[in-house]
Amino acid sequence: MFTGIVEELGTVLVAGSRLCIGCSLVMSDIVVGASIAVNGVCLTAVEVRPDGFSADLAPETLDRSNLGDLKAGDRVNLERPITLAARLSGHIMQGHVDGTAVLESFVALENGNWELLVRVPEVLDRYLVFKGSIAIDGISLTIADVNDRRVRVAIIPHTYEATNLATREPGDRLNIECDVLAKHVEKLLARITLPATS
């Protein structure tokens, strides 16, 4: 489980089906087999070095996320799994990306704030609600507005500076993970049989 609070910006050293990331902070307790979220995608460290780690990308991961778009030098958001002693500062995330959204605009506001607008796939729109949680590239964010598959979120200065959002441009694909609770509720409600009315 993750929270969407990015711990470190890593740098892609090698892109492709085996992704090599350069980083330092998150390496303090990473071992081979450990999970780590890269742009919100839960990956398994298969090689660990003092200056970073490598992870293999399955075809499903390449199809459903933006990790296949990465190239050497790109910055990625990194987060280690939460522990039972950790505060849940963001929201509950699994690192199981549902798909990608297209960045439509990223506008600077007053006092270092930003407004991000993404267009989500139609199949994910039903899980997104006003003031609900969404993970965008592994960042826990609150939906400020959702209308016609367009999701608007506010980005505070700290989030802008601590994540890879500063490198993003309109047209980029961003990883989206919807609130897992919404998906469970949908499945449970679909199984409810209402009594017939006369």
**CATH no. for residue 104?**
2.40.30.20
Percent of the chain with pLDDT over 90: 83
Has residue 117 been placed in a domain? yes
C-beta of residue 30 within 8 angstroms of C-beta of residue 80: yes
Q: Which of 17, 24, 58, 105 is catalytic?
A: 58
Q: Which of 17, 24, 89, 142 is catalytic?
A: 142
Q: Which of 23, 42, 55, 135 is catalytic?
A: 42
- The model carries a pTM of 0.90
pLDDT digits (tens, 9 = 90+) for 178-196: 988 888 888 888 888 766 6
Known catalytic membership, residue 42: yes
Q: Which of 11, 15, 34, 96 is catalytic?
A: 96
**Tally of structural domains, the chain:** 2
pLDDT digits (tens, 9 = 90+) for 102-145: 999 999 999 999 999 999 999 999 999 999 999 999 999 999 99
Look at residue 80 and tell me whether its pLDDT is greater than 90.
yes
Give the structural domain span for 114.
99-186
Known catalytic membership, residue 100: no
What number of other Cβ atoms are within 10 A of residue 55's Cβ? 22
Is there a single domain that holds both residue 113 and residue 64? no
pLDDT value, residue 198: 59
Has residue 92 been placed in a domain? no
- The bridge status of strand 139-147 relative to strand 52-56 is unpaired
pLDDT value, residue 53: 98
pLDDT digits (tens, 9 = 90+) for 156-178: 999 999 999 999 999 999 999 99
Known catalytic membership, residue 2: yes
pLDDT value, residue 194: 65
Has residue 88 been placed in a domain? no
Is there a single domain that holds both residue 119 and residue 177? yes
pLDDT value, residue 187: 83
Characterise 156 by phi-psi region: left (phi > 0), alpha (psi -120 to 50), beta (else).
beta
The token pair that represents 92 in the structure block: 């509950």
Has residue 192 been placed in a domain? no
**Mean pLDDT on 81-109:** 90
Known catalytic membership, residue 83: no
Is there a single domain that holds both residue 52 and residue 109? no
Helix or strand holding residue 184 (H, E): helix 180-190
Q: Which of 11, 15, 34, 44 is catalytic?
A: 44
CA distance linking residue 15 with residue 21, whole number of Å: 9
Known catalytic membership, residue 35: yes
Is there a single domain that holds both residue 113 and residue 157? yes
